[in-house]
Structures are given as C-alpha cells and as structure tokens.
Structure 1
C-alpha cells in the first residue's frame, strides 16, 4: 500500500497562498503562535470538507491518513485543554474530530464496494485505537545517512504489500501476526534504498510497533526507524534544494507523513 501521505497532499491543496512574513507576528510570540494555529486548523477543516465531498472516491490509503490525523487531533486537544490560552483552539479541534469520526466510519462502506480484498487485508490499520502517538519526538541523525543510494529492482508495491499483510496476519493462510519470511526480512532492511522503497521500509517497522511486534528483528525496530527517518530527511532536503521539482515533489510528501515521530 502507499504510505499515508494523502493527508499532507490534501493540506497542501487546501492551504491558501502563504502569507508574507511581515503579515504574521513572530512565531515565538503568543500572537504569532495563535496565527499559525489558526492557519493549520483552517487547512485541516478544508481537508475534512474535501473528504466529505469525495468520500465515495476515497481509497484505503487516504482513510489511513485521516485516521492518523484523527489520533493527532485528539492528542492535541488533550494537551491544549490544560492551557487557558488555547481553550478556543481546543474547542475548534474537538469540533473537527466530531466531523471526522463519522466520515471515517462511513468510509468503510465505500471501501467494501471498491476493493473488498484490499480492505480485508489492511482493515486493522484503519480501526480506532490502532495508531498511537509517539511518547516523544526524536531528531534525525545525519551520521546515519547512506553515502550513496542504490536502485533495487526487487522492490515493488505488490511485494511490499505482501510483507505488510504477513506482518498483520491478515493473509489467506490465517498466519499469526508479526511473522517474517526471509524475503521480507531482506526487503525491509535492505540498506541504500531511496524513494518509495525507503518509505515502505519505515512503514513496515511503524506498523510492527503499532501491532506490538517485539521479538527477533523487531527488537531492532527503533534502530531501523531512526535509520530510515534520517535518510528520508536527507532526501527531503535535496527535494527542497531543487524547488520540489517533479518527481521529487511526490517523494517529499510521501516522506513527510505525520506518523513517524521524527523532527529535523
């Protein structure tokens, strides 16, 4: 499956042209923070309206992105509830969650019509409670960036999907979750990957963490996530340096999904 980057894409589509720096108060002031919060919430509200209008056309990858957004909004609401200065934005976030939850519930109906097999295989990751916020944000380590990136012809979305299904335990063989074939071990830990291969490697270990996989290779899960995040950040910097020219723009959005818990 594609990584849950659709949310970011929708936000970029829905966000109005950026304001000039002079039109915003400094971000380290209460006024500046309030302005930034307002811009972000307005973009999220437009993205949710977009979801409502296009709900019959939504695919599973998009639902995953909005499910992650729901979890993040609830986390923000819980944190802001303790700050008197953020009570109004907190209420606004709460209303947004109230709109989003029933839309996500209704999306299952359309997914059953469009691709029931895909839904059956990946339904666990769109269920309430699957996604959890990281306990802490981490900074990427530039020393973990690969000296060179390799092209690896063995990678394909279909092969990646088969490994994710194996991890989730939702295949037709009724296997237990967290199992790992030699092929998937090689695919998901191959060094030097870039592009979609790299983001799918991170997604694999992220799903393993959400699923509670801890034995064997998954004992090193945090190491691999740190490694992949560092290289994704490096690729994003390269994309920024060339003005997000095609096809780096799509990779940039893929790498910028809001679920990996990494900061520059």
Structure 2
C-alpha cells in the first residue's frame, strides 16, 4: 500500500508538471510573436531577456532528452528555440546599428552560450534577509553598468576582463540595498560566474547570493501581500529571474506563475501596463514613453507593451519551464 501511494504521488506530480508546461509553452509562443513584431525597436534588456529564455529552453530540452512521453512539448520548444535564434540575431543587429557603443559594451551577455543554468537547487534562508532596507538607491545604473563592463572586458577596446575596482567592490557588496540596486548586485556576481572570474571576492559569491536572494524573497513577499501593484511587478519578476538562475527554487512558486501569466497581454503577447491604465496614462504622457530614471531598463510602446516587463517575464517563464 505504501509503495502504491508513492507511485500515485509521483504520477500526480508528473501530471501536474506536464500541465504546468502546457500552460507555459503557449505563453512563450505568444511572447515570441511580440518579438517578431518588435525586434527592430526593443531595447538591450529585452534582447537579453529573450536570450535568457532561449538558454532555459535549451536546458529544458537537455533534461527532457530521455523522456519519451513529451514528444509534442519537445517539438514546440525546439521550434521556439529555432525562431528565437533568428529573431535575437535580427534584434541584435538592429541594436548594433541604433546604439553601437552601448551595444558593444554589453554584447557578450547577448551571446548564445554566455548563460549557464543551475544543476542543483537551494532554498533561501529568511534569517539572512536584511531587517531594514536603504530608502534610496545604493548606486546609479551608470555606476553598475561600468562595473559590469569591467567584468566583461568591454570598458575599452582590447581590455582585460574580470577587473574588480575598489569602487565596484564597495557598491556591489554593500548590505541593505533594495529594489534594482539589490538585483544588480546579484547580477554582478552572476556575470562573474559566467566569465569564470577568479578575484578573491568571488570566492565568497555564494555567501553574497544567499544574503541577496533571501532579501529579494522578502521584498517579493511584501509585493505579494500588497496585491502585486503594477509599479512593483517588474522588480518582482526580475527578482525571480535572477534568483531562479542562481539556483533558489523557492522563487518558482506555482501561485506566482499563475499570477504572472495573467499579466500577459493576450493579443500582443507582451507584458506591460493593463490596457485601461495605459489608455489613461498615454493621454497624459504621450503615445510612447521612455522612463528617464533608467537608461536602458524601460521602453513602453504605443500599445502599452513594455520592453523590460516582457524581458523579465519571458526570463521568468523560461525559468519555470526549466525547473519543472
């Protein structure tokens, strides 16, 4: 009887995972439709989000290689990978022409083989989360961009990579940071991982990741308790994408997946402002807006589609697919 119960539990679990995949894949197909329509106009973050999605899809295919019961899902995902390869290349070419200097600085993270995925999973430890957060940003995006280019080796022509300046060390390890400053601190250590940087700072990478993601989980739980206000959704998804890629499986909550899927625009396939909110704001702010606070983070189109919202959403959905 005990063995039968285990078999039934595993059977139910497998069935629920298959159903989850059947929900995620169509959503990703819709998002790819958005990319096909907007690849000439999206920003660098959007291209990065779709590249991270592609890495997750390839990872999922590797996991499923021995599972004969998933032929239709494998075919769908293989088709998505193929479409994304072509569209990301086209979008990258457009970025290279519209802003060649900025594109050159971040070109390495848009490469098809840059992003590696976790092979084992951890859970966040709530006791490591900050008790209080700084009320203002710890640093500007320009400062974090510069630190990223030092790791990537793109801060000047033919320059060395994995350089850790004192200023970067200080801001990227400062405790108490919140919101995008916090997620960019984690992103800094993620880039160092992908580059294989050997500075002694990165020997403590897991220590910092544990603290950062525990704090990011705390932020996400607050966002959830506040009813997922639109202004918080982008950060909420970015936290899931980065911490999921860092191996923290408790960010892949089924209820969060269900909620995020409701934010996708069914016609456009993108993520952004709900139609009624955008119709009001667009009359006030103009048909296309660029939020000045961040140079590359956001671009909102006339239909309410957001480059950054869509980027982090597809990265998150890809993470859920890979995890399940």
Q: 1:134 aligns with which of 89, 102, 118?
A: 118
Aligned to 2:248: 262
Contact conserved, 1:138 with 1:263, CA < 8 A, in 2? Answer: yes
1:206 aligns with 2:190: yes
* Aligned position for 1:15: none
Q: What is the number of equivalent residue pairs in this alignment?
A: 239
Match of 1:139, SS state, is: coil
**Partner in structure 1 of residue 211 of structure 2:** 227
Q: TM-score with structure 2 length normalisation?
A: 0.70
Q: Does 196-205 or 112-121 show the bigger shift? A: 112-121
Correspondence for 1:114 among 79, 98, 101: 98
Structure 2: give runs of 5+ residues left out of the alignment: 1-10, 251-324
- The list of structure 1 runs, each at least 4 consecutive aligned residues, that deviate by more than 6 angstroms after superposition, is none
- Cα distance, 1:41 vs. partner? 0.3
Find the aligned partners of 1:34 and 1:246 in 2 and give their Cα distance: 30
- Mark the CA change 1:175 to 1:46 in structure 2 (over 3 Å): closer, same or farther: same
Distance 1:173 1:84, change over 3 A: closer
Structure 1 unpaired stretches of 5+: 1-26
**Alignment deviations for residues 143-196 of structure 1 (CA, whole Å, 9 cap, x no partner):** 110111113555111111011111111012643111111110011000001101
Separation in structure 1 between the aligned mates of residue 100 and residue 138 of structure 2, nearest angstrom:
27
CA contact (8 A) 1:68 1:259 kept: no
Asked if 2 retains the 8 angstrom alpha-carbon contact of 1:136 and 1:261, the reply is yes
Partner of 1:99: 83
Query: Contact 1:149 / 1:193 at 8 angstroms: preserved in 2?
Result: yes
CA deviation vs aligned residue, 1:101-140 (integer Å, no higher than 9, x gap): 1111111210012211111101011112111111212211
CA contact (8 A) 2:137 2:181 kept: no
Q: Alignment RMSD, CA only?
A: 1.8
Aligned to 1:186: 170
1:101 alignment partner, SS class: helix
In the alignment, the residues of structure 2 paired with residue 97 and residue 121 of structure 1 have an alpha-carbon distance, to the nearest angstrom, of 25
Q: Is the 8 A contact 1:80 1:87 kept in 2?
A: no
- Where does 1:85-96 land on structure 2 (aligned, <5 Å)? 85-96=69-80
Shift in Å at residue 225 of structure 1?
A: 1.3
Could you say which structure has the greater relative contact order, defined with CA pairs below 8 angstroms and 6 or more residues apart? 2
Change (3 A) 1:84 1:109: same
| TM-score (norm: length of structure 1) | 0.85
Of 109, 131, 152, 1:125 maps to 109
Counterparts of 1:29 and 1:191, CA distance in 2: 39
Q: 2-side partners of 1:189 and 1:85: how far apart?
A: 46
Q: Is the CA contact 2:138–2:177 (under 8 Å) kept in the aligned structure 1?
A: no
Aligned 8 A contact 1:81 1:87 in 2: no
Mapped to 2, the partners of 1:153 and 1:252 lie a distance apart of: 17
